[in-house]
Each structure stands twice: as C-alpha cells, then as structure tokens.
Amino acid sequence: MLEQSLYCVCIFSQAQDDVIVDVYERLPVPFGLVRFGVAPDHPEVKNVINTFTQTAQHERCFFHGNVNVGVDVTVKELKKAYHAVVLSYGAEANRCMGVPGEDLAGVFSARDFVGWYNGLPSNQKLNPDLNCETVVILGQGNVALDVARILLSPLDMLKKTDITQHALEALTASRVRRVLIVGRRGPLQIAGTIKEVREMINLPDTTADMLPADFKGISETLKGRNVAVQNQDAKAVPTGQMEDLECGMVISSIGYKSLPIDPCVPFEHRGAIIPNDMGRVLDTAGLYCSGWVKRGPTGVIATTMNDSFDTARVLLKDMKEGTLDLSVNKPGAQEITALLQERGNTHRNTQKKKNADCTLFSRKKNTLLTNSQKFKTF
C-alpha cells in the first residue's frame, strides 16, 4: 500500500531538508489501495493521487517498482542500507470464513473481485461467471457495498468511470439482477458508512429491499440509548432459523489481514499486525510501521493518512532526540540496486534520478508503457 508510504514522505519532506526517501513497491506502479482498491465510480476519492504525485515528484523521493520486499530483498538488508525502514505493506490476505464450501467454484473474495474490475495485475484472469441472476455478498462493510453497487449499476454510469475494459465488457453481458448483502449483525452495527449506504439505496433502476424484522424495535432501542450503552455485555443469540439462498455466485467480504513479511520482523498472528509502540516496531531499532499492518485493516483513507503521519512524526522525533543512530553513513538505494542486479533482477525499475525510465501499467489497455519522465502519466 504505497499511499501509506507517501503520507510518511510528505511529512519527511516538509520537516527535514536532508532526508532521502526510497520507496519500494511490489507492483510496477505506485498508489496501491487508492489505485486498485477504490471503487471506479468514486473519482473524488481517487483525487488524492494528485497529492501523491506531487509528493512522489519531490527531488529527494524515489520510487522503485517491482521489488518484493521479503523475497527480492530482505528487511535485514534494507536495515543495513538505510538509517530507518518503514513497513507500510497493508493487508493483502483475505480473512477466511472457515465454513465448508468456501473454496468451491463461484466463490470469490471481495478483494479479488475488486482487483478484477480495478485492473490489479494479479486478478486480471479472475473471470467471474456473471451468467446468473442472483449474487450473495457476505459482509456489510464499504467494500461489500462497493461490489454490490458495481454489479447493479447502469452501464451508462459505469462507462463514465475508469473501470477496466474487460470488466465493463463482462458487466455488459451480465445477467445479475439481484444482490443479497448478508451479515451477522443488525442494521445499526454494519461497518459501511452512511455515504455508501445512501449510494446503494439511491442507485438508479434499483430497489433496496430490506427485511422488516431487522428494524423491529430500533426506535425503542434509540429512545433508551442510555440503557443500551450501559448494557455492553449483551450478545446476539442465534434463533435457530435457517434459510437457503439460491445464487450463482458468492463473494466473501468479511475483511482482510496482514501477513508476515520477513522472519526478522516480529509479527502478532492473532491480530495480524506488527507489534509496535506508536509505529516503532518492538525490540527492533530503526524499524517502523504504518497503516493497516500497524493497527489492522479498518478505517477510511483519512484514517490511514493520520496514522501514517503519526508514524512519520515519531521517526522524526527519534532522529532529533538521537534515539535513531545517524552517526554512520548508509549507502541506501545504491546497495539495494546492486543486490537486485546480482540476483538477476535486471528488470527492476529502480529510479535513481528524476529522468530515469519508469515502466508503468495501463489499467485501461492492460499493456505496459514506457515513460522517460518521473510520475508524469499516473
């Protein structure tokens, strides 16, 4: 999730005039979740890319694409080459439901489905079968609402977005007419925000059909909200009632989780985060983390931004107070580039100067483009 890194870069460039920042990314292009995770009909959210581009064009910031940290280069090697390393790689794995049948054909994760219609290279060949009338989405967060909206949006609306051509063609031939959004909890507890709920309810040519039983007693609960807040130990109790839902596809949207990146980096498997103190990785001097891998995959882009700002400020504080050892010069990208070349990774698109060649990925055409100027076509 490169955007978390660029939030940190923004603080570094403003606070220090002698800091050089190299950003390493597994994908060939920057902007991570903003590029491949935000719904194509939300251009106002993607506008943050303009700010990112300005940050990335800073004369002391360099982007290195196609570098898989933990595989192509270890965190230990990065620590040796730099005074400080900030891990901002997000949450790339899906949380499993742990129920029989979740690995059947026709069952997809929302992460993969979103990556498919947004042009994430690893999901280009997903090829979901939309030759069915009913789709069930498990989960009630913003991602679940995004997927439902894309499946049911009129084609005229989708054509005005930056959705990939292959996804638009598939949705043009889609027979999906009904999407069921299923969750464990009630309407007051859903993880989706009011903006996404309104978009779903007001979607043209679509009717929102809500179960009356889900709203039974809500007005009385709100009237007695003081009592409800005090009764924090209350739990939902299964009714024992079962319902069979016939559908042609199931999309699981129950959350993401981070994965360990390197054996030398501590990792809390239960919470799926890197154990840290305000962004400082525990018991590992010079190593920091930000974003979802720091606090878990929750919140919106603004939440991640503020979290990354906090990590950057902590790092700068350690620099000024001497907690971070800056007494020895470090080679930085020069050493890492040499390591990559030694390992036969000659195709790495490492930029060491402003006019270095950069290979970019075009989501519309699914082709590789070569650009001789830094970050000009993003």
Q: Is residue 82 part of a domain?
A: yes
Residue-wise pLDDT tens for the chain (378 aa)? 455 566 666 666 666 667 888 989 888 877 777 788 888 998 887 777 776 677 667 777 888 888 999 999 999 999 999 999 999 998 888 898 888 888 899 999 999 999 999 999 889 889 999 999 999 999 999 999 999 999 999 999 999 999 999 999 999 999 999 999 998 887 778 888 899 999 999 999 999 888 777 777 666 655 555 555 555 566 667 778 888 899 999 999 999 999 999 999 999 999 999 999 999 999 999 999 998 999 998 877 778 788 888 998 899 899 989 999 999 999 999 999 999 999 877 544 444 433 333 333 333 333 333 332 233 222
Q: Which residues are annotated as a binding site for NADP(+)?
A: 140-143, 184-185, 196, 299
Number of domains in the chain: 2
Domain enclosing residue 187, as ranges: 95-214+244-252
State which amino acid sits at residue 48. Answer: V
| CATH number of the domain enclosing 287 | 3.40.50.720
Does residue 76 sit in the same domain as residue 119?
A: no
Is the same domain home to 119 and 209?
yes
Q: Which of 252, 281, 307 represents a domain boundary (last residue)?
A: 252
Shared domain check, 270 and 135: no
Last residue of a domain, one of 201, 223, 252: 252
Same domain, yes or no, for 86 and 44? yes
358 falls within a domain: yes
Q: Which of 252, 274, 298 is the last residue of a domain?
A: 252
Quote the CA–CA distance of 107 and 258 in Å, as a whole number.
Answer: 21
Establish if 49 belongs to a structural domain.
yes
Starting at the earlier edge strand, list the strands of the sheet with 107-109. 107-109, 249-252, 134-138, 178-182
Using a 10 angstrom Cβ sphere, with 0-12 exposed, 13-18 middle and 19 or more buried, the burial of residue 103 is exposed
Residue 12 lies in a domain: yes
Q: 278 and 183 in one domain?
A: no
One domain, residues 275 and 338: yes
**Annotation: binding site for FAD:** 25, 33, 69, 292, 299-301
Tell whether 152 and 133 lie within a shared domain: yes
Shared domain check, 248 and 124: yes
Asked if 378 and 55 count as a contact pair (C-beta separation under 8 A), the reply is no
For residues 8 and 150, membership in a common domain is answered with: no
Instruction: Report the binding-site residues.
Output: 25, 33, 69, 140-143, 184-185, 196, 292, 299-301
